[in-house]
Structure 1
Amino acid sequence: MKSLPDTVVSYKRTPEFDEESIPEGLLKNHQTKADVWGKIVVLSGHLLYTIHEPFEEITLDINTFGVVEPTVLHQVKPVGSVRFYVEFYQ
């Protein structure tokens, strides 16, 4: 599993989302800006995290978080009931 670089610092966090409140943009291919990393933190349930460059699918849960690399296309999909948030780093 990828990890965040030691040099980045958290600067923003989304509200908590569940399977019904996930913004549509997160369910489609999207990317962060250059120099912006993300950490997808699941509080309960499971979330399918798909990275498109290179292709990788990871099921996230309370023990496994997702790392979003700058400018890399990705998307998420709930697997049943889920609660999560995304924290952003620069």
Structure 2
Amino acid sequence: MADVRPYRSTPVFDQDTLPAALRARHATKAGVWGVIRVLEGRLQFTCLDPASESVLTPGSPGVVFPQQPHFVTPLGPMKMQIDFYDQAPFP
């Protein structure tokens, strides 16, 4: 199995520096997967299609599929980063 690595990662954001664009509805581009990694604290991950909500924590990342509309909401103090992949990040 090939070792899949991200082609780009965001800076580490906290509850104060998390961009407004990530707190509002947005989506990855065609052919791009995102993996939301919580480094500290908790983050609510809301997918709009299909509709679902989950709480992300360290060790429990969120996967965004290509063109999937979603947004995130900090649940108190947190730190997070997003890795972007041009193929499915998990087998």
TM-score where L is the length of structure 1: 0.90
CA distance change for structure 1 residues 72 and 49 in 2, over 3 Å: closer, same or farther?
Answer: same
How many correspondences in the alignment? 85
Query: CA offsets per residue over residues 28-75 of structure 1, 9 Å max, x none?
Result: 000010000000000000000000001000100002100010001000
Query: Following the alignment from structure 1 to structure 2, what is the Cα–Cα distance between the partners of residues 72 and 62?
Result: 22
Unaligned runs of 5+ residues in structure 1 are 1-5
> What secondary structure, in the 3-state scheme, does the structure 1 residue paired with 2:58 have?
coil
1:66 aligned residue: 62
Identity, % of aligned pairs? 40
The RMSD of aligned alpha carbons is 1.4
Q: Which runs of 4+ in 1 moved over 3 A?
A: 6-9
Query: Following the alignment from structure 2 to structure 1, what is the Cα–Cα distance between the partners of residues 28 and 48?
Result: 13
Unaligned runs of 5+ residues in structure 2 are 87-91
